[in-house]
Structure 1
């Protein structure tokens, strides 16, 4: 069962869209205190050569994700660098696996990934926003860093163990 519902996602999106620059700065401060590593994964993008408008896109995704976490009413642990590294390795492995498949099997693999994802509403939001973003930008080599950062946000949120589950991940697997 998802921890972030469609209703929660809608409320987070509405709240993020209504924010002015000062409110976004305050949210960034809150993010720094609550989830510094998630914020860091976006703040580092300019050092990787990503243009500021593209960093802004990643920041907007992060803000909505963070607001959704907050709106869920759950107590979220700090997502660590180890959590991020683990999810990044997992995502890259899944992506590379798909590269070696023919088109039909790749499609089935993607459908299975989506069907098995524990945060389908969060995943759907990020997928839709990413598709819109890709359609309006001029592609650059550094876009891969933006993509990896935002997909890693989704997966870190989806698979982090919540307090009270004693060593188990979201889906009940022992770490």
Structure 2
């Protein structure tokens, strides 16, 4: 039920999508404290965030993808207040579905990144992938803080076993059907 750019899967590695103009924002939804949130605030790793935190970052590698406030979003005219509210609502709806789905797979969805775009008619559409490269995922069956990591943090933290972690995510996801 989330408006998105996907039309059809036409081959195992190909899909048809609607053309969108990508809004230069990375939208991060956080369910638990991790990564830059811990480094920048001193919050303990794994602290549950209730309600989830939605953050906006300028999609600009040269500037280091800086965190944006509401006033900076308005100053840069990246999106209107109404679009920001719609994106926030859509991101939280995605979070509700993904959190429930991953929990059924024995995985905690710590946080994830989304991107949105505008269709030719001006609709805001989800226009991004969901993968262990764009999510922070923890194995609920593992208590060791390093062994539980099933995402790109295995690479970032030089923990090894990246392929095995991604394969475990895929195995669990394929064992469940998305409602």
TM-score, normalised to structure 1, is: 0.28
Which structure dedicates a bigger proportion of its chain to helix? 1
Which structure dedicates a bigger proportion of its chain to strand? 2
Greater Rg by CA: 2
TM-score, normalised to structure 2, is: 0.28
